[in-house]
A and B are shown apart, each in its own frame.
Chain A
Amino acid sequence: MVLVAANSLLEVEHLSVRFDRPGAGIHAVNDVSFDIAPGETLAVVGESGSGKSVSMLSIMGLVPSPPARVSGSIRLQGQELVGLSARRLNRLRGRDMAMVFQEPMSSLNPVHRVGDQIGESLRIHRGLARAEARRRAVALLDRVGIPSAADRAGSYPHELSGGMRQRAMIAMALACDPNLLIADEPTTALDVTVQAQIVDLIGELQDERRLAVIWVTHDLGVVAEIADRVAVMYGGRLLETGPARRIYRSSRHPYTLGLLQSIPRLDRPTATRLPEIPEAPMRMAGALRGCPFDSRCPMAAEGCADTLPELEPVEGGGHRSACLHHRKIDSAEVLFPETPAAAEPRSATADPSQVLVSVRALKVHFPATGGLARRRAGAVRALDGVDLDIERGRTLGLVGESGCGKTTLGRALVALVRPTEGAIDIKGRLINHRSGPHQRVVQMIFQDPLSAMNPGMRARDVIAEPIRLHRMAPPDAIRERVVRLMEQVGLPPESGDRYPHEFSGGQRQRIAVARALAAEPEVVVCDEPVSALDVSVQAQVVNLLADVQAATGMAIVFISHDLAVVRHISHRVAVMYMGEIVEQGDRDRLYEDPLHPYTKALLAAVPVPEPEGAGPGDRTRLAGELPSPADPPSGCRFHTRCPVAVKGLCSTTKPRLSEASPGRWVSCHLVNPPCT
């Protein structure tokens, strides 16, 4: 059934992983087979609970057993790994195969120097002495693009930035020149700009060493440019596999099509709602009788629920799909149609005088911590002079890399942080502390809904809290209101008795939306509301927010690092860099014609879910990472990373945010030349 190329480096056949638990066992991986040749890139794509990480960890022999039972066959360079003794496995790990993990901070040992951690592989496998290993580690750090590698080798992980840490992880994985690199969501925790750098780096290293790479991701966009082949996993099974071009262009599985359709893209028309896959991704469960995607599939038909579909060849070229109906699959547009966006709320019909919130010269500085004897080393300038208007019934998108101040701005709007200078007024009233009425008018939705809810409260009470707090309804009317809110956000009202942990991620975020709506707010600040969700669920929440806005006319401040999502939901967009707004304008014009070099760089870094060659030819990558916000660069704060900075001007003179065209504000000398 499985066609194995003659020159395979890794062959996985009928891999299954079960977790024995008292009661029902969990079938995390079911009968998964694939192979990879030297120098090839295989992208393994799936949502949380798809079994993709467990599969990869079992290749590395890192699934704790017991409770896990791994069966099937995993052959690396012809050698069987399933059932191999720990001693023999240790000889292969780090030498012939290596792994890079998602969270570089927690994946590095905090008490050892980076150089020593990289050198450790060399000491284990090559028997090098400490000094020699350290010397080699410096060379490796240099190779993965870490500046002044010799110094950095002596640093501890917490002293490096996120991107640097991931580079160090890569250096560690490649120390002994393995033939197989497994990268498990290596860029998910990183900013788009850094993500692009890491993708490029792994690509370069791969070419240099004929490295086979298995790239595990939930995001089809990230791997589009680099994958040779794609394997799509769901519910512990392989649903579709084939050459990247075919998967992206002519997938023969409804799930893949749904994933591709629900990714917000920069080239999708904004007038439509994001197509969504209904419901939540399947959780790992016991043995399955039918297709795992059955309950969410728009073309589920008779037989799907009780026939286990096998991977069958589609047309050839190694393209295989596990769908009973793959021959009659419609195009993605038919299966997951784009529907017209909800009507613009009445109040938003572009009356520019409808300013609800205005922010003037807002500064928020935090004292720098950890100084000797509280030496006033300075302050972290989280916000350094921000001017902003939020209009009734419209959405303002706030984008920028982590550390740019977008979250602080959101918190300042909700009055969770106190401004150091400047003013925020809402409906003409100055806000400088979280007073009662303000509490109700401005609501916030957080990134991680689970940690933002009291675990001991039932969903119903979570939603009812603002109503009780602000005495918005008599006690006997609260229940009915909660039911209405739950219906409005698409939650079954009978689930109100459940506790937050009993809901899926997407449902929890719906509870958070209902809780915000309960206060009948005029502004809702959403801080990365979909970043923690699976791709297929992101679209549901984004659409929900748009619907709710159309129904209530509330203003939304949508904070995100994901420019494609922001584009989809926003009316206006503000780009932030180091505590300042560098560009602001109407959504369509800003995305079509970005003026500030930083905006351009951010847009160029957004991955496009199109296979190689189809993406924009523009490969300018933003170099480096955010400078320290405690000590911002002189002049234009972006000049240290700007590809077009003018010597003698940008490093000395600070550009002002000024109107480049009506409604379009940019702070760049090249757009608005300074008066001479």
Chain B
Amino acid sequence: MRRRFDIRRLTQYGVVVVVAVTLNFLLPRLMPGSPLTLIAGVDVGLLSADQRAEIMARVGLDAALWKQYLRYWGDIFTGDFGYSFRSSRPIVDMIWDRLPWTLLITGLSFIVSAVVGVVLGAISAWRRGTKIDLGMLSGMISIESLPSFWLGMVLISIFAVQWRLLPSSGAVTSASDLVGWAHTWDIVRHAILPAATLSILATPGVYMTMRYSMLETLREDYIRTARAKGADERRVLFGHVARNAIAPVVTVLALRLGFAFGGTVIVETVFSYPGLGRMVFDAVSGRDYPVMQAAFLVFTAAVLAANLLADLLYPLIDPRTRTS
């Protein structure tokens, strides 16, 4: 059987990308006032007409809108996002600096919340109605309602301040020249608290989806068929329930993976973690529009990539969604 990705789906993704990029291009241009205000800041009123024209020409704002739009696309393809207003660094470099850190903590928290959520959700559903189930369910609902900054600060006060077990901020110990394993261990120690905060917050969603999906699956006729065949509980659980129950969870996980990037803004700020989220926070507070624009594109790309992943994975799990 041949399996190929539906071209119609890919077209849909293409449309979303075009719309996102176009919005990103238009937003600063739709804001009130001249773009000069953004570039030159409050001093714009002091500039002479010549100076203004010179700046406009330098940044290419004197060209027709469609030319600017095409150039924007060109810039994206060549990886040129311009320069930060505040640091004057190329934004691409900034993103490359920060992306690994964000990937590290989101990746860690994704894996932890996925594994813990799925396993606990499965146990809960399997033991539905028991004390274990009800206990876990109410626990998860409580966690779901925690604000992320509060949880982060609680973890800092316990593990960093009270017990002095883990560092409270940064990604590496500054001004240290650790190498090899010591360096790696330093990175891990710094990543634990922010990753734990993200994991704890992401787990209830996975848990709920898994629990519900599994309860639904346990009611299916084919589970009864499996029992009628003489399958023991182990075989029923792993051979028949698990794979069917996990399918909807994959979609939820993929969406979470996409949104995890955006979720780092607060947590990275609380932990002063040098990732993309922190960069966005700084850019927002410093009105650094080009950086915000670039970050927006990166987040969009992350959500789309995660969705694409889910679309590609789903047919592997559920043969009914395979195109023939």
Chain A interface residues toward B at CB < 8 A: 60, 62, 86-87, 90-95, 98-99, 101, 103, 106-112, 120-121, 124-125, 156, 158, 169, 172-173, 370-374
Please measure, in the bound complex, the distance between the C-alpha atom of A91 and the C-alpha atom of B229, giving whole angstroms: 9
Please measure, in the bound complex, the distance between the C-alpha atom of A124 and the C-alpha atom of B233, giving whole angstroms: 12
Chain B 201-227 interface 0/1 with A at a Cβ cutoff of 8 Å (1 = within): 000000000000000000011101111
Q: Is B228 an interface residue (CB 8 A)?
A: yes
Q: Is B317 an interface residue (CB 8 A)?
A: yes
Please measure, in the bound complex, the distance between the C-alpha atom of A91 and the C-alpha atom of B324, giving whole angstroms: 39
Residues B231 and A90 in contact, CB atoms below 8 Å apart:
yes
Scoring B221, B225, B226, B323 by chain A CB atoms within 10 A of each residue's CB, the highest score goes to B225
Residues B230 and A111 in contact, CB atoms below 8 Å apart:
no
Please measure, in the bound complex, the distance between the C-alpha atom of A391 and the C-alpha atom of B240, giving whole angstroms: 54
Residues A62 and B230 in contact, CB atoms below 8 Å apart:
no
Contacts A86-B233, A94-B228, A124-B230 known; A156 to B240 CB distance under 8 Å? no
Q: Is B239 an interface residue (CB 8 A)?
A: yes
Residues B229 and A94 in contact, CB atoms below 8 Å apart:
yes
Please measure, in the bound complex, the distance between the C-alpha atom of A43 and the C-alpha atom of B51, giving whole angstroms: 97
Q: Which residues in B have their C-beta under 8 angstroms from that of A124?
A: 229-231, 235
Please measure, in the bound complex, the distance between the C-alpha atom of A108 and the C-alpha atom of B240, giving whole angstroms: 10
* B95-138 contacts to A (CB < 8 Å): none
Q: Is B244 an interface residue (CB 8 A)?
A: yes
The contact sample of 13 A-B pairs, CB cut-off 8 A, is A62-B224, A91-B230, A94-B231, A107-B221, A109-B240, A109-B244, A111-B318, A124-B231, A125-B230, A156-B319, A172-B229, A370-B323, A372-B4
Q: Is B179 an interface residue (CB 8 A)?
A: no
Q: Which residues in B have their C-beta under 8 angstroms from that of A108?
A: 222, 225
Please measure, in the bound complex, the distance between the C-alpha atom of A93 and the C-alpha atom of B6, giving whole angstroms: 42
Please measure, in the bound complex, the distance between the C-alpha atom of A106 and the C-alpha atom of B318, giving whole angstroms: 14
Please measure, in the bound complex, the distance between the C-alpha atom of A575 and the C-alpha atom of B165, giving whole angstroms: 81
Residues B220 and A106 in contact, CB atoms below 8 Å apart:
yes
Q: Which residue of A lies closest to B225 (CB)?
A: A107
Besides the known contacts A60-B228, A94-B230, A106-B222, 18 further A-B residue pairs in the complex with CB atoms under 8 A apart? A62-B228, A90-B231, A93-B230, A101-B225, A103-B221, A106-B221, A110-B318, A111-B317, A112-B240, A121-B229, A124-B230, A156-B320, A158-B320, A370-B324, A371-B323, A373-B6, A373-B7, A374-B8
Chain B 289-324 interface 0/1 with A at a Cβ cutoff of 8 Å (1 = within): 000000000000000000000000000011110011
Please measure, in the bound complex, the distance between the C-alpha atom of A112 and the C-alpha atom of B318, giving whole angstroms: 9
Q: Give chain B's interface residue range (CB within 8 Å of chain A).
A: 20 to 34
Residues A373 and B320 in contact, CB atoms below 8 Å apart:
no
Q: Which residues in B have their C-beta under 8 angstroms from that of A112?
A: 239-240
CB distance from A8 to the nearest CB of B (A): 22
CB distance from B244 to the nearest CB of A (A): 6
* B1-23 contacts to A (CB < 8 Å): 4, 6-8
Q: Which residues in B have their C-beta under 8 angstroms from that of A101?
A: 221, 224-225
CB distance from B9 to the nearest CB of A (A): 10
Task: Tell me which of A98, A107, A370, A374 contacts B222 (CB under 8 A).
Answer: A107
Please measure, in the bound complex, the distance between the C-alpha atom of A87 and the C-alpha atom of B221, giving whole angstroms: 21
Scoring A95, A108, A120 by chain B CB atoms within 10 A of each residue's CB, the highest score goes to A120
Residues B319 and A372 in contact, CB atoms below 8 Å apart:
no
Q: Which residues in A have their C-beta under 8 angstroms from that of B244?
A: 109-111
Residues B232 and A109 in contact, CB atoms below 8 Å apart:
no
Contacts A87-B232, A93-B229, A372-B4 known; A110 to B319 CB distance under 8 Å? yes
Q: Which residue of B lies closest to A120 (CB)?
A: B229
CB distance from A21 to the nearest CB of B (A): 14
Q: Which residue of A lies closest to B10 (CB)?
A: A373
CB distance from A187 to the nearest CB of B (A): 16
Please measure, in the bound complex, the distance between the C-alpha atom of A87 and the C-alpha atom of B239, giving whole angstroms: 17
Please measure, in the bound complex, the distance between the C-alpha atom of A323 and the C-alpha atom of B7, giving whole angstroms: 68
Q: Is B243 an interface residue (CB 8 A)?
A: yes
Residues A111 and B319 in contact, CB atoms below 8 Å apart:
yes
Please measure, in the bound complex, the distance between the C-alpha atom of A86 and the C-alpha atom of B236, giving whole angstroms: 13
Please measure, in the bound complex, the distance between the C-alpha atom of A108 and the C-alpha atom of B319, giving whole angstroms: 13
Residues A110 and B320 in contact, CB atoms below 8 Å apart:
yes
Please measure, in the bound complex, the distance between the C-alpha atom of A573 and the C-alpha atom of B155, giving whole angstroms: 77
Please measure, in the bound complex, the distance between the C-alpha atom of A101 and the C-alpha atom of B225, giving whole angstroms: 8
Please measure, in the bound complex, the distance between the C-alpha atom of A371 and the C-alpha atom of B2, giving whole angstroms: 13
CB distance from A180 to the nearest CB of B (A): 12
Scoring A87, A90, A106 by chain B CB atoms within 10 A of each residue's CB, the highest score goes to A90
Residues A372 and B225 in contact, CB atoms below 8 Å apart:
no
Residues B220 and A372 in contact, CB atoms below 8 Å apart:
no
Task: Tell me which of B221, B224, B228, B232 contacts A86 (CB under 8 A).
Answer: B232
Please measure, in the bound complex, the distance between the C-alpha atom of A108 and the C-alpha atom of B244, giving whole angstroms: 12
Chain B 228-264 interface 0/1 with A at a Cβ cutoff of 8 Å (1 = within): 1111110100011001100000000000000000000
Q: Which residues in A have their C-beta under 8 angstroms from that of B320?
A: 110, 156, 158
Q: Which residues in A have their C-beta under 8 angstroms from that of B6?
A: 372-373
Please measure, in the bound complex, the distance between the C-alpha atom of A110 and the C-alpha atom of B318, giving whole angstroms: 7
Residues B222 and A99 in contact, CB atoms below 8 Å apart:
no
Please measure, in the bound complex, the distance between the C-alpha atom of A112 and the C-alpha atom of B235, giving whole angstroms: 13
Q: Which residue of A lies closest to B229 (CB)?
A: A94
Please measure, in the bound complex, the distance between the C-alpha atom of A156 and the C-alpha atom of B4, giving whole angstroms: 18
Task: Tell me which of A92, A98, A120, A373 contacts B231 (CB under 8 A).
Answer: A120
CB distance from B224 to the nearest CB of A (A): 6
Q: Which residues in B have their C-beta under 8 angstroms from that of A87?
A: 232
Residues A109 and B226 in contact, CB atoms below 8 Å apart:
yes
Please measure, in the bound complex, the distance between the C-alpha atom of A101 and the C-alpha atom of B228, giving whole angstroms: 10
What 4 A-B pairs have minimum CB-CB distances, sorted nearest first? A94-B230, A373-B7, A94-B229, A93-B230
Residues A120 and B239 in contact, CB atoms below 8 Å apart:
yes
Please measure, in the bound complex, the distance between the C-alpha atom of A98 and the C-alpha atom of B222, giving whole angstroms: 14
Q: Which residue of A lies closest to B323 (CB)?
A: A370
Residues A372 and B7 in contact, CB atoms below 8 Å apart:
yes
Residues B230 and A92 in contact, CB atoms below 8 Å apart:
yes
Q: Which residue of A lies closest to B240 (CB)?
A: A109
Residues A90 and B317 in contact, CB atoms below 8 Å apart:
no
Q: Which residues in B have their C-beta under 8 angstroms from that of A156?
A: 319-320
Please measure, in the bound complex, the distance between the C-alpha atom of A86 and the C-alpha atom of B320, giving whole angstroms: 33
Q: Which residues in B have their C-beta under 8 angstroms from that of A94?
A: 228-231
Residues B224 and A107 in contact, CB atoms below 8 Å apart:
yes
Task: Tell me which of A62, A91, A95, A111 contacts B227 (CB under 8 A).
Answer: A62
Residues B230 and A121 in contact, CB atoms below 8 Å apart:
yes
Task: Tell me which of A90, A158, A374 contacts B230 (CB under 8 A).
Answer: A90
Residues A372 and B221 in contact, CB atoms below 8 Å apart:
no
Please measure, in the bound complex, the distance between the C-alpha atom of A70 and the C-alpha atom of B318, giving whole angstroms: 37
Q: Which residue of B lies closest to A91 (CB)?
A: B230
Q: Which residues in A have their C-beta under 8 angstroms from that of B220?
A: 106
Residues B228 and A98 in contact, CB atoms below 8 Å apart:
yes
CB distance from B248 to the nearest CB of A (A): 13
CB distance from A460 to the nearest CB of B (A): 34
Q: Which residues in A have their C-beta under 8 angstroms from that of B235?
A: 124
CB distance from A269 to the nearest CB of B (A): 41
Q: Which residues in A have their C-beta under 8 angstroms from that of B224?
A: 62, 101, 107
Please measure, in the bound complex, the distance between the C-alpha atom of A589 and the C-alpha atom of B83, giving whole angstroms: 88
Q: Which residues in B have their C-beta under 8 angstroms from that of A374?
A: 7-8
* B45-95 contacts to A (CB < 8 Å): none
Please measure, in the bound complex, the distance between the C-alpha atom of A124 and the C-alpha atom of B244, giving whole angstroms: 21
Residues B230 and A95 in contact, CB atoms below 8 Å apart:
yes
Q: Which residues in A have their C-beta under 8 angstroms from that of B233?
A: 86
Q: Which residues in A have their C-beta under 8 angstroms from that of B232?
A: 86-87, 90
Please measure, in the bound complex, the distance between the C-alpha atom of A52 and the C-alpha atom of B80, giving whole angstroms: 73
Q: Which residue of B lies closest to A156 (CB)?
A: B319
CB distance from B5 to the nearest CB of A (A): 9
Q: Which residues in A have their C-beta under 8 angstroms from that of B317?
A: 111
Please measure, in the bound complex, the distance between the C-alpha atom of A370 and the C-alpha atom of B230, giving whole angstroms: 36
Q: Which residue of B lies closest to A369 (CB)?
A: B323
Residues B222 and A158 in contact, CB atoms below 8 Å apart:
no
Please measure, in the bound complex, the distance between the C-alpha atom of A101 and the C-alpha atom of B222, giving whole angstroms: 10
Q: Which residue of A lies closest to B318 (CB)?
A: A111
Please measure, in the bound complex, the distance between the C-alpha atom of A86 and the C-alpha atom of B235, giving whole angstroms: 13
Contacts A110-B319, A372-B6 known; A93 to B227 CB distance under 8 Å? yes
CB distance from A109 to the nearest CB of B (A): 4
Please measure, in the bound complex, the distance between the C-alpha atom of A156 and the C-alpha atom of B1, giving whole angstroms: 12
CB distance from A373 to the nearest CB of B (A): 4
Please measure, in the bound complex, the distance between the C-alpha atom of A90 and the C-alpha atom of B234, giving whole angstroms: 12
